[in-house]
Structure 1
Amino acid sequence: MRETAYAKINLALHVRARRDDGYHELETLFAFVDQGDVLTTSAAKRDEVAVAGEFGTALTDPFDNIVAKALGKLPRSNGLRITLEKNLPVAAGLGGGSADAGAIFRIVRQMHGLPDDWQDRAAALGADVPACVESLTCIGRGTGTELETIESDLTGTSVLLVNPRIPLSTGPVFQAWDGKDRGSMPQGTASLIAKQGRNDLEAPAISRCPEIATVLESLNGTDAFLSRMSGSGATCFALYRSHDAMREAAEKLAFHHPDWWQMAGKLR
């Protein structure tokens, strides 16, 4: 069995307030690209996880592997041998680890079904994991785990992901946020929320990683109708009216910035 761990992007991300538990109250519009990491699965006597791919060497701690943790959260009658092809950069604002965990939940669901409390088990692995299980456009509130499905008018939209190959941890970005509540996320269609929304972590992320501003400037210089940073960075995305416009932008950026990472796809 092969399962894609779809890259997550935040079309909008509004940070509202700091909670009593130390986390931040969020309003976000999750969307997912039809590309990402790839998990290959086969039956085994016990759970085994192997990692390959361009960014596989970044996952060196077997005790901090979210794929193994996700397997441990789900009761089954047999083990699974998982090979993770790590195509998404780590600490990049794409929910890569959460997407991998979400893919494990889908694999187990197909093979064995999921327990009734699977949402709680997913949330225990990370705030983005519940959204990554279905990997469809949805609104997230609270810490991002309170989900509301939304019919997306952006499905099929061409998207280009660009990362300057600089890892950026979430904690320092939140620490750099100025704490100002700039208002709630707009209501309406996915495209309206995306256009009228914002990413409140963009400025603090740029203060930690100035190269993000260069990526956004480059994307804004293409024929994109929307470009924004995803999550806490450093990956940025751009949306295009056509595949040809996206491909032209990808070629332009590859020529001027051959060291940047790119991934092209469509929104699910």
Structure 2
Amino acid sequence: MTVAETAYAKINLALHVRGKREDGYHEIETLFAFVDAGDTLVARPAERDSLTTVGEFAQALDNPFDNLVMRALNALPHPQGLEVTLEKNLPVAAGLGGGSADAGAMFRIIEHYHGLPEDWQLRAERLGADVPSCVRSEMAIGRGTGAELEPVKNDMAGMAVLLVNPRIPLPTGPVFKAWAEIGAEVEGGEDRGPLPKGSARTIALKGRNDLREPAISICPQISDVLEELQRDTPFKFEMSGSGATCFAVYEEPAARDDAAHRIAGAHPEWWQMTGMLR
């Protein structure tokens, strides 16, 4: 039996960096949200595990057999092989948790066939800090490295989303390094305070992305994307994760579609995806 899963694009409606940990990771507080669009995984039983990668961004994966889909598959017990096809629609190194979302979708596929082991959260965390949140792909607050999840009142489900990327890959490591350098130069240092309390709408409106300025220092085109998104006065616009993808959230799909059409006309070279918040 064939099983298909969407690897839902992850966005950070707010992302506060609180400091660097002794283990080298960074302490963050973030509001994870998920768009009802992204990569697609299709699996069917086979004699042995295999992965085929197709789609616009398939070539961006240097070694498709060592990506998070295969690592997730190898991390979970399954008595039969699976032949998996990954349609890579999300840009790589884009702040959308694409690899983590793919891994999360693989966890759900294994769950469909065989169920998940009791320690699946730990197995997911070993693959990456964003992977636990991507398994369920439900809005949540993430703390620690992002793997410590807390529920939040989701009063933004069904809102329209526009994702825009200038087609410039932006690895996370250099952005965090720039965050530390910029933090050393500003009043208050690196830690600018905790995530606001309240519902998703409150956190989204009052929260910030501490990685925005560091990312812009490496990829100035992010400023151009944010400027375009701001013109249509969305409910919220911001950079996601460590960039370079930016998002805008709208109360109505028509407003999102108008913005998407205008921006596509002005910048046909930019990547876009539309969807709704889960």
Whether the TM-score (by the shorter chain) exceeds 0.5 is yes
Per the alignment, residue 69 of structure 1 pairs with: 71
User: Amino acid of the residue matched to residue 21 of structure 1?
Assistant: D
How far, CA to CA, are the matches of 1:166 and 1:10 in structure 2? Answer: 19
1:107-166, CA deviations, whole angstroms, 9 ceiling, x for partnerless residues?
Answer: 111110111110110011110000000000000000000001223000000000000000
How far, CA to CA, are the matches of 1:20 and 1:149 in structure 2? Answer: 27
Contact 1:103 1:133 in 2 (8 A): yes
2:144 is equivalent to residue 142 of structure 1: yes
Per the alignment, residue 203 of structure 2 pairs with: 193
How far, CA to CA, are the matches of 2:250 and 2:149 in structure 1? Answer: 27
Contact 1:138 1:147 in 2 (8 A): yes
2:166 is equivalent to residue 132 of structure 1: no
Unmatched segments (≥5 aa) in structure 2 = 184-189
Fraction of identical pairs, as percent: 63
User: Amino acid of the residue matched to residue 82 of structure 1?
Assistant: V
User: Amino acid of the residue matched to residue 140 of structure 1?
Assistant: G
User: Amino acid of the residue matched to residue 127 of structure 1?
Assistant: A
* Counterpart secondary structure, 1:247: helix
How far, CA to CA, are the matches of 1:263 and 1:191 in structure 2? Answer: 22
User: Amino acid of the residue matched to residue 102 of structure 1?
Assistant: G
2:256 is equivalent to residue 246 of structure 1: yes
* Selected match of 2:15 from 13, 16, 23: 13
* Counterpart secondary structure, 1:37: strand
How far apart are residue 60 of structure 1 and its match? 2.7
Q: Which moved more, 1:98-107 or 1:55-64?
A: 55-64
How far, CA to CA, are the matches of 2:176 and 2:240 in structure 1? Answer: 14
Contact 2:53 2:64 in 1 (8 A): no
Per the alignment, residue 214 of structure 1 pairs with: 224
* Counterpart secondary structure, 1:182: coil
How far apart are residue 63 of structure 1 and its match? 4.8
Per the alignment, residue 119 of structure 2 pairs with: 117
Contact 2:176 2:211 in 1 (8 A): yes
How far apart are residue 64 of structure 1 and its match? 2.9
2:245 is equivalent to residue 235 of structure 1: yes
* Selected match of 2:265 from 231, 255, 260: 255
How far, CA to CA, are the matches of 2:155 and 2:109 in structure 1? Answer: 28
Output the aligned Cα RMSD. Answer: 0.7
* Selected match of 2:61 from 59, 68, 72: 59
How far apart are residue 36 of structure 1 and its match? 0.2
Unmatched segments (≥5 aa) in structure 1 = none
